[in-house]
Amino acid sequence: MMRRGALFVATLILLGGMGQARAGSILDFNLDAVHPAGASISYAGGATPLVGTDLSVDSVVGKGTPLNALSILNLTGGRLDFQTGNLTGSDSGHWFFGPGGSISITTTAPIVAGASNTLLSGTFTSAEVDYSNDGIPGYKVVIAAFVNSVDDNLAAYYGIAPGLPWAGNLNFSFFAAGIPPGAFNSFSSDNLGSGDVITSAIPEPGSLLMGSIAVAGLALFRFHRRGA
């Protein structure tokens, strides 16, 4: 009986230690529908990248995080800037862009104690712009994937261990003239819509192993109880 109790306690300790690196810990940055003058999304044509400049980001919320889940932090002067890899192809409804480039979310004041003004930075793995030809002139949507890092102090606020890699997605709408494969430019900030940048922490391999051991331990404990 003592051995079973020790096994159960050890398993609970292992499960408890998984909190800071568990899968499904998401930070969701909200892209405001109101953007500053000079904000734009553009593609210059040919083998050039998609470029987003000075897009407004007003807040971030943790979803499924070990600490402060659903806690919303407002950003001061939050901005999203990005550049994808070059155009790799197109069809009647899409522009496709390759990997590379950069993405960053910055703020003009620390969001939590000790945080830098760069909250997120990374590079794209893929990106595309979807063109709507269903009666909404010029309506377009950016859909992109990237790998990134998050400021350690912001991650810690949500209970996520510092230094983990992250993987994210960008979804954003705007209006601009142009059909694939032609160039386009939103020109006015009034033509920019809303969206979000979602990024999720990737657990360390050691944490995944620890989780597997913990689950196996619970299964073994239940087996012993059944056989008792």
What is the tens place of the pLDDT at every residue in 154-204? 999 999 999 999 999 999 999 999 999 999 999 888 999 999 999 999 986
pLDDT of residue 68: 97
Which positions ≥6 away from 161 have C-beta within 8 Å?
Answer: 20, 21, 155, 201, 204
What pLDDT does residue 132 have?
83
Q: What pLDDT score was predicted for residue 73? A: 98
- Which pLDDT score, from 0 to 100, does residue 18 have? 38
Write down the pTM of the prediction. 0.80
pLDDT for position 22: 54
Amino acid 23: pLDDT: 59
146: nearest Cα among 97, 74, 108: 97
Res 105: pLDDT? 98
Question: Can you list the residues of the chain whose pLDDT is less than 50?
Answer: 1-21, 206-228
| Cα–Cα distance, 167 to 187 (Å, whole number) | 30
